[in-house]
């Protein structure tokens, strides 16, 4: 039964002071002093740098062979045999190599913003000057265009078209002939005869 006025204990009793928790390693277990004094560090094996073999550059070899005067297939084969030109490694800087002198990596820094120009509203003044210059140019262009341009109507008023000469000759069948509403047979013959 639980003790009066105390919560019930539901735990086990701990083992004695000679008990070791976890695995006991007799060879290495020297406690904290050994851990502090002798760190187990893994020694890195030095890898022999394996040189990357690049493929042959046949385009460069062909150009060099033509420059040397090779014309037949046998000459080209002999040239390829004795002159071994390899492609250049584009990723040589990634895998280690000498950086060319004066080479800078990354983007160049942007020029610093002049702080006094910001305080004195210099950029606003420059913008206002540009706007004034643009307005002046537009005014001058408008002034030149201000003259009234001629359109077709005004041009025809000042320069009338030449008058067409009237032609008095017409085909007979297109001439207007007076015909009465109720013609007599004699008038009909006369009308159709004309």
Q: Where are the domains of the chain?
A: 54-87, 113-148
Report the pLDDT value the prediction gives residue 119, as an integer from 0 to 100.
Answer: 84
Reported as a single tens digit per residue, the pLDDT across 39-71 is 655 565 666 566 778 888 999 999 999 999 988
Q: What is the DSSP secondary structure assignment for residue 56, as one 8-state letter?
A: B
State how far the Cα of 188 lies from the Cα of 44, in Å rounded to an integer: 133
Q: Is 86 helix (H, G, I), strand (E, B) or coil?
A: strand
Reported as a single tens digit per residue, the pLDDT across 70-101 is 889 999 989 988 888 888 877 655 555 666 67
First to last CA, the chain: 153
Longest dimension (CA), the chain: 161
Reported as a single tens digit per residue, the pLDDT across 36-45 is 766 655 565 6
Confidence band of 180 (pLDDT split at 50, 70, 90):
low
Cα dist from 77 to 66, 73, 82, 117, whole Å: 12, 6, 9, 70
Could you give the percent of the chain with pLDDT greater than 90? 14
Q: What contacts 78, CB < 8 A, 6 or more positions away? A: 70
Q: What contacts 154, CB < 8 A, 6 or more positions away? A: 148
């Amino acid at each position: 039964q639980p003790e009066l006025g105390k919560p019930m204990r539901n735990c086990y009793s701990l083992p004695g002071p000679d008990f070791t928790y976890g695995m006991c390693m007799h060879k290495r277990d020297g406690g904290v002093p050994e851990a502090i004094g002798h760190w187990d560090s893994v020694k890195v094996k030095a890898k022999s740098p394996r040189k990357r073999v690049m493929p042959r550059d046949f385009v460069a070899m062909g150009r060099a062979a033509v420059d040397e005067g090779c014309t037949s297939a046998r000459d080209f084969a002999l040239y390829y045999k004795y002159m071994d030109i390899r492609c250049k490694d584009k990723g040589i800087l990634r895998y280690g190599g000498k950086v060319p002198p004066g080479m800078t990596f990354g983007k160049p820094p942007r020029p610093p913003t002049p702080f006094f120009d910001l305080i004195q509203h210099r950029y606003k003044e420059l913008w206002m000057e540009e706007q004034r210059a643009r307005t002046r140019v537009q005014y001058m262009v408008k002034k030149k265009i201000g003259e009234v341009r001629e359109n077709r109507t005004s041009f025809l008023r000042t320069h009338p078209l030449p008058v067409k000469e009237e032609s008095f000759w017409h085909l007979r069948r297109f001439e207007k002939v007076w015909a009465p509403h109720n013609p007599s047979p004699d008038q009909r013959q006369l009308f159709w005869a004309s």
